[in-house]
Amino acid sequence: MAFRVSAITLDLDDTLWPFAPIGARVEQVLDDWLRRHCPRTAERYPIPAMRRLREQVFAERPDLAHDFSQLRRLSLVRAMETAGDDPVHATTAFDVFYAERNRVEFYADSEPALARLAARVPVAALSNGNADLAVIGIDHHFAFQLGAREHGAAKPDAGLFHAACGRLGLEPMQVLHVGDDIELDVRGAQRAGLRSCWINREGARWPHPERPDLEFTTLAALADWLDAAHAMETNAA
């Protein structure tokens, strides 16, 4: 399918890098830190128990469903208070968690493809997560980063997509949203009136009647498509 793309909004976790290894590492790094600095918390809340406590806090605070960072802080405070450690340590514990959360391992194609996309059109990061592009070292590829926490609502809420389009100064149909999640990214973008691209690295089957505008197994393939589309526009001109 050929159509004009004036800008891209791009998901981060599981689109530029796999999140599962990060999730496993942050739990272990945080547990190691707690064993050294808050041993009563570590004893009462080993990794499985800490995970259950975090899920409990998340369930209790649906008003913060868009703010993973604050929910993580509240979980740490709760754990320390109930274990008998000073909750003042929660700030440092969160900093330890957050540093590890931003240590990502990109999919092999992602960084070169991102550079190619950003050379063609403005790219904005649009994520429900709490990754920091400056810490990761790729913020120079992005026009801006808009997260669910800053906006106050998470994908698939149409308002988040529309806010990004507003900052780009474009109508939704001029913007291509790219992501891995069928409901949050693709269906969310479709409902908000954006063009949609599904990065389907696992070869999953599309479950809905209305398909995305584009589907690729890698971000590099999207960059190839955008290069070809640009060449067609140039030749037509």
Structure token digits, residue 124: 């904005």
3-class SS of residue 137: coil
Please tell me the predicted confidence (pLDDT) of residue 216. 98
Per-residue pLDDT tens over the stretch 50-60 = 999 999 999 99
3-class SS of residue 177: strand
Does pLDDT of 95 surpass 70?
yes
Please report, for the chain, the start and end positions of each structural domain, with discontinuous segments joined by +. Answer: 7-17+105-236, 20-101
The CA distance from 76 to 14, in Å, is 26
Please tell me the predicted confidence (pLDDT) of residue 236. 65
The CATH architecture to which 7-17+105-236 belongs is 3-Layer(aba) Sandwich (3.40)
Does pLDDT of 182 surpass 80?
yes
Which fold does the domain 20-101 belong to in CATH?
Four Helix Bundle (Hemerythrin (Met), subunit A) (1.20.120)
Span 140-144, average pLDDT: 98
Structure token digits, residue 96: 């330890």
- How does residue 67 score in pLDDT terms, banded at 50, 70 and 90? confident
196, 177 contact by CB (below 8 A)? yes
